[in-house]
A and B are shown apart, each in its own frame.
Chain A
Amino acid sequence: DAKTTQPPSMDCAEGRAANLPCNHSTISGNEYVYWYRQIHSQGPQYIIHGLKNNETNEMASLIITEDRKSSTLILPHATLRDTAVYYCIVRVRSGGFKTIFGAGTRLFVKA
Chain B
Amino acid sequence: GAVVSQHPSRVICKSGTSVKIECRSLDFQATTMFWYRQFPKKSLMLMATSNEGSKATYEQGVEKDKFLINHASLTLSTLTVTSAHPEDSSFYICSAMTGKGADEQFFGPGTRLTVL
Do chains A and B stick together as partners?
yes
Q: Are B103 and A99 in contact (CB under 8 A)?
A: no
Q: Are B107 and A43 in contact (CB under 8 A)?
A: yes
Q: How many residues of chain A have a CB within 8 Å of chain B?
A: 21
Q: Are B110 and A101 in contact (CB under 8 A)?
A: no
Q: How many residues of chain B have a CB within 8 Å of chain A?
A: 25
Q: Are A87 and B43 in contact (CB under 8 A)?
A: yes
Q: Are A41 and B46 also in contact (CB < 8 A) when A46-B1, A98-B34, A99-B105 are?
A: no
Partner of B106, one of A42, A46, A87, A103: A46
Find chain A residues with CB under 8 A from B64 CB. Answer: none
Q: Given the complex of chains A and B, what is the CA–CA distance between A43 and B44 in angstroms?
A: 10
Q: Inter-chain contact count A-B, CB under 8 Å?
A: 51
Q: Given the complex of chains A and B, what is the CA–CA distance between A94 and B103 in angstroms?
A: 6
For chain A, what secondary structure do more than half of its interface residues adopt (helix, strand, loop), or is it mixed? Answer: loop
Q: Given the complex of chains A and B, what is the CA–CA distance between A98 and B36 in angstroms?
A: 11
Q: Given the complex of chains A and B, what is the CA–CA distance between A98 and B50 in angstroms?
A: 11
Give the interface of B toward A (CB within 8 A).
1, 4, 6, 32, 34, 36, 43-46, 49, 91, 93, 95, 101-110, 112
Give the interface of A toward B (CB within 8 A).
36, 38, 41-46, 85, 87, 93-94, 96-104
